[in-house]
């Protein structure tokens, strides 16, 4: 920095990084195009509800398909898919050759003749012959043998996931299951994951609500934190880490030794469980080691959060800011998942012989899915960055206020208005940089899964090093992004200028503030681990009871990611407050000297806390160096007597 920066909140501002805001609008125009296409061409219900051979989705009212006379029927009361030739199914290009119908109930007993089919239809209201054949014509129409199921019809029960009537006859069941297994194994990963999400949607929603409740509890814990609460939180985190790691290893052992594992989804579950177990074990060992090393700083952590809570008490509405961000994120995620489900089933209806309908996916769907996935990352990061900028603006306004007994009116609303009027482009640029770092990690993960059959130890090591490098780079960028947003809130400068000024001021004061902010951030991170651990444990218990044809480990990963984002969204109030507070402290001591002409903006309590923490750090360094000094004195050679 060539000249001394005048650090002070500016009143008159100008718009920053307008080009990036324009690019973000163009990107979202592309997302709207994909949304429109997915809505027009997709039908997510086909994945989970099933559909017949004539283009009707079971369990709902349908629109007619041109050229298919038996399409467009009301199937609200017909929720199950029934195959006319369930004992001799064949699969060609992911399409089961037998004609399928939507029926209201599956036959519980064997039906040996057309009279039995007719009696079953009249007694149960479930018609097992093609729709254009009247019940009274079952025994009279000469083509009834072609339009009705192959006799005898075996007894069957409805399958819970795909709503299929599964034959219970052992011979028929083995043939039916083998075809269904081959069909599921040949489905691409996108459709298997979407089917798993749809099948476990109730569990996913319940676990998301559980993570929200845990986050609320932690916000209250940090708001009224005491030494006992810190010890309790650490004990719960240790218990959660050990317990979740043990359960993951037990489930992996149980699945691996299950002789009935045939489906590709079940094999994916085993692979994911092994990865989860290894990752959880590594995280447990690292966090337990850090807790052991940093255990003596607990009292200073309590004092730190008491100072943070004193500042938050001046801006009580700051605690509600994560709630609005969370609601906006939920609305966006629901929108994103709905578009993804529709996009995964997008395709054109093609009429085949006999008026049957087939849905064939278009070639560009996967490119749209990748674009849609980038939109998920960028927009989510943008929403979280807006929250960080809002909190930083409110805290800066209150910190640089001389009269602490009379804080500014409505600092949160004022910060939001400044953000939307002047600095949205800065937030877009910061969130885009995070997205750019995440995309190579995702691409490397995709490439790693594609090439893992090569079994090259050197390639695996290289991939893992790249993952680690990108992760570390992302963490550093997130840290500097937060300080760049704070600097923008102070000086009203663009992203690059703010990042440069923030790095300069932090480099000059890193010795005074590093240990304080790091340990405060570590305790907040333990809170996030607490939410994720207990939410994932609930998911393990819930999903373990639904092993059939579900890629349930992927929804569990989605739940874990959601729990982390929710906890991060709520606890980021304290995290951002700590970072903003000490950046403002560094600016304060840089521009003021505590004299009558240049008094500090900070409270005396904050200054005392920083000085005590620095003395503790210097004392620990001195004690760690003393044994070496004593050793040097004690090894001096003495003459022999």
State the pLDDT at residue 599: 80
Q: Which two tokens stand for residue 348?
A: 């054109």
Assign 413 to helix, strand or coil.
helix
Q: Convert 196-225 to b/e letters by CB count within 10 Å (16 or more is b).
A: bbbbbeebbeebbebbbebbeebbebbeeb
Rounded-to-integer distance, Cα 592 and Cα 544, Å: 60
State the pLDDT at residue 431: 94
165-167/95-96 β-pairing: unpaired
State the pLDDT at residue 192: 52
> CA nearest 236: which of 287, 281, 276?
287
Angle at which helix 321-344 crosses helix 189-199, to 10 degrees, equals: 120
State the pLDDT at residue 629: 45
State the pLDDT at residue 628: 38
Rounded-to-integer distance, Cα 107 and Cα 101, Å: 13
State the pLDDT at residue 21: 94
* Residue 191 φ/ψ, nearest 5 degrees: -70, -35
**Cβ atoms within 10 Å, residue 471:** 13
pLDDT-flagged residues of the chain (< 70): 1-12, 44, 47-48, 89-97, 159-162, 170-171, 173-201, 225-230, 259-269, 294-299, 361-362, 404-405, 407, 446, 448-456, 510-517, 519, 543-554, 613-641
- For the chain, the domains span 49-183, 189-224+296-616, 234-294
pTM of the model: 0.69
State the pLDDT at residue 94: 46
State the pLDDT at residue 455: 57
State the pLDDT at residue 640: 32
């Amino acid at each position: 920095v060539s000249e001394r920066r005048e650090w002070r909140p500016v009143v008159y501002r100008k718009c920053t990084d307008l080009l990036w805001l324009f690019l973000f609008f163009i990107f979202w125009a592309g997302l709207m195009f994909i949304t429109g296409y997915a809505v027009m061409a997709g039908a997510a219900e086909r994945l989970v509800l099933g559909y017949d051979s004539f283009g009707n989705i079971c369990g709902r009212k349908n629109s007619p398909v041109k050229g298919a006379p038996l399409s467009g029927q009301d199937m609200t009361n017909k929720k199950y898919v029934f195959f006319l030739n369930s004992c001799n199914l064949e699969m060609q290009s992911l399409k089961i050759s037998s004609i399928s119908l939507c029926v209201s109930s599956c036959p519980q007993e064997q039906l040996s003749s057309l009279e039995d089919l007719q009696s079953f239809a009249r007694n149960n209201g479930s018609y097992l012959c093609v729709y254009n054949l009247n019940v009274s014509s079952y025994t009279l129409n000469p083509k009834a043998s072609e339009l009705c199921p192959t006799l005898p019809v075996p007894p069957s029960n409805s399958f819970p996931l795909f709503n299929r009537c599964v034959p219970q006859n052992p011979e028929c069941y083995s043939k039916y299951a083998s075809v269904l297994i081959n069909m599921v194994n040949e489905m691409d990963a996108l459709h298997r994951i979407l089917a798993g999400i749809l099948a476990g949607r109730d569990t996913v929603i319940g676990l998301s609500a559980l993570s929200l409740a845990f986050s609320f509890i932690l916000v209250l814990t940090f708001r009224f934190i005491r030494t006992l609460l810190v010890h309790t939180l650490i004990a719960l985190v240790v218990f959660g880490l050990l317990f979740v790691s043990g359960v993951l290893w037990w489930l992996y052992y149980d699945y691996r030794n299950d002789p009935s594992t045939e489906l590709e989804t079940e094999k994916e579950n085993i692979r994911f469980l092994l990865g989860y177990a290894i990752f959880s074990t590594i995280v447990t060992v690292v966090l337990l080691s850090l807790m052991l090393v940093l255990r003596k700083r607990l009292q200073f952590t309590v004092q730190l959060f008491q100072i943070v809570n004193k500042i938050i008490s001046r801006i009580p509405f700051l605690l509600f800011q994560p709630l609005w961000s969370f609601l906006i994120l939920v609305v966006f995620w629901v929108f994103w998942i709905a578009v993804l489900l529709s996009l995964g089933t997008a395709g054109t209806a093609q009429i085949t012989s006999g008026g049957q309908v087939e849905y064939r996916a278009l070639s560009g769907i996967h490119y749209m899915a990748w674009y849609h996935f980038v939109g998920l990352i960028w927009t989510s990061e943008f929403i979280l960055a807006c929250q960080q900028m809002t909190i930083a603006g409110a805290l800066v306004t209150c910190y640089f206020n001389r009269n602490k007994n009379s804080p500014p009116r409505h600092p949160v609303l004022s910060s939001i208005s400044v953000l939307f009027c002047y600095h949205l482009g800065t937030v877009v640029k910061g969130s885009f940089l995070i997205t750019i770092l995440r995309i190579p990690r995702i691409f490397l993960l995709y490439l790693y899964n594609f090439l893992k059959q090569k079994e090259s130890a050197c390639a695996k090591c290289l991939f893992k090093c790249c993952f680690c490098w990108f992760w570390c780079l992302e963490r550093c960028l997130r840290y500097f992004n937060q300080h760049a947003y704070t600097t923008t809130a102070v000086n009203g400068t663009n992203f690059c200028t703010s990042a440069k000024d923030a790095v300069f001021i932090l480099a000059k004061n890193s010795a005074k503030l590093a240990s304080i902010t790091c340990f405060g951030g570590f305790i907040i991170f333990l809170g996030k681990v607490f939410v994720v651990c207990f939410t994932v444990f609930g998911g393990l218990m819930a999903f373990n009871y639904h092993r059939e044809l579900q890629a349930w480990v992927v929804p569990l990963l989605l739940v874990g990611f959601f729990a982390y984002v929710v906890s991060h969204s709520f606890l980021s109030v304290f995290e951002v407050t700590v970072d903003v507070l000490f950046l403002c402290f560094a600016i304060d001591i840089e521009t003021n000297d505590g004299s009558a002409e240049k008094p500090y903006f900070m409270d005396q309590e904050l200054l005392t806390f920083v000085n005590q923490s620095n003395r503790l750090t210097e004392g620990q360094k001195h004690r760690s160096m003393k044994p070496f000094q004593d050793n040097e004195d004690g090894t001096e050679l003495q003459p022999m007597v």
